[in-house]
Structure 1
Amino acid sequence: MKLTVFGATGGIGGHIVRQALDAGHAVTAVVRSSASFDLRHPALEVATVPGLTDPELLLPALTGSDAVLSGVGARGRKAGTVASDATRGILAAMADSEVRRFVAVSAAPLAPPPEGEGFFSRRILLPLVRAALKDVYRDLAVMEGLILQSATEWTVVRPPKLVNKPVTGRYRTAVGGNVVGGHTISRADVAHAMLAALHDPATIGQGVGVAY
């Protein structure tokens, strides 16, 4: 497949690019500055754009692509509306192209706690996390709303706390909800799950929880 990856310099996006190349895909990595992206590969094209909000600037990066993956997200509590703004531009560019498959990363707190989740997680931990990062999750909620209203064949992957560990490919998923008792996952395994979703029709039009 030929894939276009947005947020390619981020923690998840970088793993998506590398794993996709290792799997034999052709990849267009969209970056704001090529100087911040030093990966080189025969099947890799780097598209430099000043921002992700102008669909016309994004269209060339979608040419010939079979699917789009977005690792765009907040890098801190004060990131503003980066996820929803970028996704709005990406979706508009996709609407003007022939690319329909879209996989984006969101966050576990955007889904309700799963049945069987413990009292501490449901009543204490999750409310504390939502309160501490309320602006980030508000932006992600807007982003998910835009995706839901789009004409794309979308999947939203919702991880809990992200950690920096190597890819294992050993994690749990929950289509349409969150993983019971799932509190962490590595950025590398989130990337793995996003790439796996591309080949799973059951994830189209679904939020997918992913965790260890």
Structure 2
Amino acid sequence: MKLVVLGANGRTGGHVVRNALAAGDHVTAVVRSEASRLTFDHERLTVVIGDPCDPTVLTRVFRGQDAVISTLGGRRPTRHATAIYWRSAEAIVEAAQTAGLTSVAVTSTALLFPSGRLIDRLLTALVHNVVQSATRMEATLQRAGLDLTIARCGFLTDAAETGYRASVEALPQDGSSVSRRGLARFLVETIRNPAVGAGVYGVSAPLARRS
């Protein structure tokens, strides 16, 4: 597979790149600047410097590719930072339609799942910019008629765990967090396996083993 990764130099995106290369894919990693280049090289890795919210840049990158995975997200819950969700989505749609690419996977937030829990309502209010921007992102991509996989997850951790659980349209039971390695593995395995099917998934860590 020929795969484009947006947010490739991020903490989740780097794991996506490594997983895809380990699976035998040819990866094109889009980074914003020379300073944000990946810290490793590979014969099947191409690094492109450009703005992932610029449809002209993405159109050029998407040509001849099979799929794109975006792990872009705001580093802070401000309106400006979280706007990258919907700005990148608009660029992805325009570029994908021009280049003829249809398979897209993105990361989003589990706060978009309906919940009656007080803690979820409080978190939604606390990070309302994240929720609003992620909602706009998902709506933009869904209207485009893409083969779209949305991975909604809760808290991301840097744990060494590479496993995950995934459920359609809901977080798995007691699934409040997932490691970045596990999320990356889900994204790569899902987009490489059309039999799984596109859709909205809740992604979380495996249940803790009982001693």
TM-score normalised per structure 1: 0.90
Q: Which runs of 5 or more residues in structure 2 are unaligned?
A: 206-211
Q: Say which SS state the counterpart of residue 157 (structure 1) adopts.
A: strand
Structure 1 residue identity aligned to 2:169: G
In structure 2, how many angstroms separate the alpha carbons of the residues matched to 1:107 and 1:80? 12
Shift of 1:82: 1.2
- 1:38-80 deviation digits (Å, cap 9, x = unpaired): 221100000111x223211212211221111001111111214
The answer to whether the Cα contact below 8 Å between 1:34 and 1:46 also exists between their aligned partners in 2 is no
Equivalent runs, 1:98-117 vs 2, <5 Å: 98-113=100-115
Alignment-derived partner of residue 93 in structure 1: 95
Structure 2 residue identity aligned to 1:173: A
The answer to whether the Cα contact below 8 Å between 1:95 and 1:151 also exists between their aligned partners in 2 is no
Equivalent runs, 1:69-148 vs 2, <5 Å: 69-78=69-78, 79-113=81-115, 122-148=116-142
The answer to whether the Cα contact below 8 Å between 2:67 and 2:102 also exists between their aligned partners in 1 is yes
Shift of 1:129: 1.2
- 1:108-160 deviation digits (Å, cap 9, x = unpaired): 111124xxxxxxxx422111111111111110000000011012110100111
In structure 2, how many angstroms separate the alpha carbons of the residues matched to 1:200 and 1:181? 27
Runs of 4+ in 1 over 4 A off after TM superposition: none
Alignment-derived partner of residue 61 in structure 2: 61
In structure 1, how many angstroms separate the alpha carbons of the residues matched to 2:164 and 2:34? 33
Correspondence 1:171 to 2:173: no
- 1:4-47 deviation digits (Å, cap 9, x = unpaired): 01111112111111111111110000011132122211000001
In structure 2, how many angstroms separate the alpha carbons of the residues matched to 1:147 and 1:69? 13
**Identity of matched residues, %:** 32
Structure 2 residue identity aligned to 1:73: G
Q: Which runs of 5 or more residues in structure 1 are unaligned?
A: 114-121
In structure 2, how many angstroms separate the alpha carbons of the residues matched to 1:60 and 1:166? 35
Correspondence 1:150 to 2:149: no
Task: Tell me the number of residue pairs that the alignment of Structure 1 and Structure 2 aligns.
Answer: 201
Equivalent runs, 1:176-187 vs 2, <5 Å: 176-187=169-180
Give the 3 Å change call, closer, same or farther, for CA 47–207 of structure 1 in structure 2.
same
Which segment drifts farther, 171-180 or 130-139?
A: 171-180
The answer to whether the Cα contact below 8 Å between 1:178 and 1:210 also exists between their aligned partners in 2 is yes
TM-score normalised per structure 2: 0.90
Alignment-derived partner of residue 196 in structure 1: 189
